[in-house]
Structure 1
Amino acid sequence: MRSSDGDTFPAEGGIRGRLLVILGALSAFAPISTDLYLPALPDAADDLGTSASGIQITLVVSMIGLGLGQLLMGPLSDRYGRRGPLLVGIVLFTVASLVCAIAPNVAFLAVFRFLQALGGSSGVVIARAIVRDRLDGPRLVELFGVLTVVVSVAPIVAPVLGSAILTVGSWRTIFFALVVIGGLLGAATFAWVPESLAAHRRNTDGVVTGAFRSYGILLRDGRYVAVIATSAAAFGAFFGYITGSPFALQKVHGLSPVLFSVAFGINGLCLMGAARWMRYGNPQRRIAIGAGLMVVATLGLVIAAVTDQLAPILVAFAVLATGYGTIAPNTTALALMRHPERAGAAAALLGGTQFAGGALAGSLVGHGAESGITSLVVVIAAATAVTVVLAAVLARSS
């Protein structure tokens, strides 16, 4: 494949073994920093003397940081290469995690959760750009499916690990664990992640000028916009579940942190299975299937809200995770296929809008978290409706 500048894509070399694992771990910065912390939300709220909606602000600002950080890190990596911005971001993530561990109040914690996410965004966006630098076509779709599987291990392992940490420490201990994770990933990146964007392929404009130029080109591509909007809406529904599930399952239905972690892990397996093995039809068809599963999940949540029973909400969450796992790798591949010459900016805009959708959904769910699951159901239903409409648009244009 050739870019508008005449360069051939992808770059030489594939992605295998150790490099694939590291890129998957870097992509998982968001779920690692969020899901490890989820079982501790009620305890953190009590310790810091805040409400459920107050502590959920720390999740929302994290989504904002991840979104804004990607919009910055993507163009930086197009201009200066992938390794430098990636390593700087990992250092910021690690230092901010350390400060979070000693936060004296929820406002302080929110500020450094934002900075932690800003640093972690480098892993999310630059890992995608590295994959795009090296791969194209069906192999690209397949690798994003594999990366989604690797990322999906985080929602399975992280809450269980978080619960285990809580048995021997406090919510602060979880942030010390994130310091260790950041240090290990930084060392692995320094040692084993090579530069994938050759100097002659880098954007020679200034960072700000280049970013505006790249984003302008991307936003004039109607199909690209439809793809990233679909991704944002689907992630909004999924992040509504992430934000609301600790209180819906632990506070409303009385699950212990351990049982909550088990349920969350099962849903992670559903997401992982869908991302890895859903191979029916083209990417647009798979996105439509995922949207259909999200509709089924929404109906299950409505039943759960009406009957006040645990079983429907557990099933609905599992189906929602399966639907999102079907959509995620296919929207990512479709978005990055179209603009290989500006993969960093394309990945950044994809991730930025995705996390903007997550932040909006999370704030709306958190606003009514202490009054039952009504706000959770409404937010997921609204995000699902938008996903269905956009999936239909993509299906017609394929």
Structure 2
Amino acid sequence: MGRGLNRLSAIAVRSAAAGKHADGGGLWLHKRLDGGAQWFFRFTVHGRRREMGLGAATDVSLREAREAADRGRAVVRQSLDPIKERERERREAARTLHYLKDIALDAFESRKAELKGDGKAGRWFTPLELHVLPKLGSVPVADIDQKDIRDTLAPIWHVKAETAQKALSRLGLCLKHAAALGLDVDLQATEKARALLGQQRHKPENIPAMPWGEVPGFYASLNEGTVTHLALRLLILTGVRSGPLRFIREDQIAGDVWTIPGEAMKGRKDRTPDFRVPLTGAALAIIEQARPLARGGYLLPSQRKGVISDMTMGRFMERAGLEARPHGFRSSLRDWIAEATETPHDVAETVLGHTVGGAVERAYRRTDFLDQRRALMERWAQHVTKSNGTAHEERGDDGR
């Protein structure tokens, strides 16, 4: 043993006073005032003096600390930095320990803040969970290549084209997340897989919509006062997407205006303004009917827990023998605006919550056309509830 090494004993470690105590060869014990103690290795490499933590004295014995210091000195003799070498070794170990399922979950956790409702609906993670992880979840992420991805997604590439695209996109984000963690992955693997999979044959189909002339008859049939009937009536009267409607809360309504948080709007980002929906007299009456059924602050709760689901409304229409689906009422409203009114394009698109114009135009336009939309939606409510008579009267005396 070299002179000056191994100055401490096990008893000295336990009884040492607060302060720093040298064992020799760069190994130190730091005893804190609260009684805790930490080992560290002090060294100089490339002209820099550095300290590397070796663990708490309660977890690392004196013998183990000396062995760690021996390894550190050996690394320094090679003109290498023990801290950087330890990090490199950890990355190498992680290569075999980080499976895709672990990376996917970690990536999901990292992205939750930018997802609607913190991703609780599961739409971000579901394509991976259903179509990728069953086959590739237990594969080390560094071993995944384009052929693995192609073989995994090929069964759904044409028959579930949109889902396959989402799964491929999410997988690409997982690979980027792995690279950010320091893992050796092929960031081009998803694009290479896309080339191997080829052009998709699937053509997206529009959601079936009810002709606007038939909407009043369907609306009249929703007369039982159940959550499903009330939800569909309110969906028709407001023209919003079913997501914000299902999560409508009492505290979002002030007078005759319902304010939908910006993050709840489809395709919207954190800085998007909230969206104001004018509530007609008919819509306010539906909300009043829903209040006794409210639970947990939500006006349209499900029978068990949470809020009414998209599936509930869709299945109701399916059981009624209708081809149309709930989302299609937005198309019914838009067609009515185009065919039965002379509403300016910007107002008509804003009714549906669509983004109108480029970024510069939007920056200078401060209005959301609330008053114009309120008048238009009152006319729509009159048509839907048949409170103004015939379709001819709907257009007004001046043909509008």
Question: 1 or 2, which has the higher helix percentage?
Answer: 1
User: Normalization by structure 1: what TM-score?
Assistant: 0.22
Question: 1 or 2, which has the higher strand percentage?
Answer: 2
Task: Specify the structure having the higher radius of gyration (Cα).
Answer: 2
